[in-house]
Structure 1
Amino acid sequence: MDSRKMRKELEERLKHPDRSFTYDREKDQLRIENIHTGKGITVSLPGIIAKWQDQKEKAIDEVVYYVSEGLNAMENKVELSGKEKNIYPVMRSTSFPAEAEEGVPFLYDEHTAETRIYYALDLGNTYRLIDSKLQQKEGWTAKQVRETALFNVRSLSVQFKEDRVADNTFYFLNTNDGYDASRILNTSFLNEMKKQMKGTMAVAVPHQDVLIIADVENNTGYDILAQMTMSFFASGRVPITALSFLYENGELEPIFILGKTKKE
Structure 2
Amino acid sequence: MKMTSTKMKNLLQERLNNPDWTFQYDLKQDTLRIIDIKVSKGVTVSIPGIVNKWEEHKEAALDEVIYYIEESLLALKRDDQLLGKEKEIFPVIRSTSFPTKTQEGKKLLTTDHTAETRIYYAIDLGSTYKLLDEDMMSEQGWRKEQIMQIATFNVRSLPEKVKQDTVAGNIFYFFNSNDGYDASRILNESLLNKYEKQIEGTMAIALPHQDVLIIADIRNETGYDILSEMNMSFFTNGLVPITALSFLYNEGELEPIFILGKNKPKRG
For this structure pair, what is the TM-score category when the shorter chain's length is used for normalisation?
A: over 0.9
Output aligned runs, 1:173-188, within 5 Å. 173-188=175-190
Q: In 1, distance between residues paired with 2:15 and 2:143? A: 40
Q: In 2, distance between residues paired with 1:133 and 1:181? A: 26
Query: Equivalent pairs: percent with the same residue?
Result: 60
RMSD: 1.8
User: Paired residue for 2:202?
Assistant: 200
Output aligned runs, 1:196-235, within 5 Å. 196-235=198-237
Contact 2:52 2:236 in 1 (8 A): no
Output aligned runs, 1:131-142, within 5 Å. 131-142=133-144
Q: In 1, distance between residues paired with 2:155 and 2:52? A: 33
User: Paired residue for 1:32?
Assistant: 34
- Partner of 2:100, secondary structure, is coil
Label 1:70 to 1:234 Cα distance change in 2 as closer, same or farther (>3 A). same
Output aligned runs, 1:49-60, within 5 Å. 49-60=51-62
Contact 2:49 2:236 in 1 (8 A): no
Label 1:251 to 1:66 Cα distance change in 2 as closer, same or farther (>3 A). same
**Shift of the alpha carbon at 1:166?**
1.5
How many aligned positions are there? Answer: 264
**Shift of the alpha carbon at 1:24?**
5.1
User: Paired residue for 2:64?
Assistant: 62
Q: In 1, distance between residues paired with 2:234 and 2:265? A: 20
Q: In 2, distance between residues paired with 1:110 and 1:256? A: 21
Structure 1 runs (4+) deviating above 6 angstroms are none
Q: In 2, distance between residues paired with 1:114 and 1:38? A: 31
Contact 2:49 2:239 in 1 (8 A): no
Q: In 1, distance between residues paired with 2:48 and 2:133? A: 28
User: Paired residue for 1:41?
Assistant: 43
Q: In 1, distance between residues paired with 2:59 and 2:251? A: 45
**Shift of the alpha carbon at 1:127?**
0.3
1:89 corresponds to which letter in structure 2?
P
Over residues 139-186 of structure 1, what are the superposed CA-to-partner deviations in whole Å (9 max), with x where a residue is unaligned? Answer: 111111110000000111123111122121111111111111111101
Which 10-residue stretch deviates more, 163-172 or 108-117? 163-172
5+ residue gaps in structure 1? none
Q: In 1, distance between residues paired with 2:25 and 2:264? A: 46
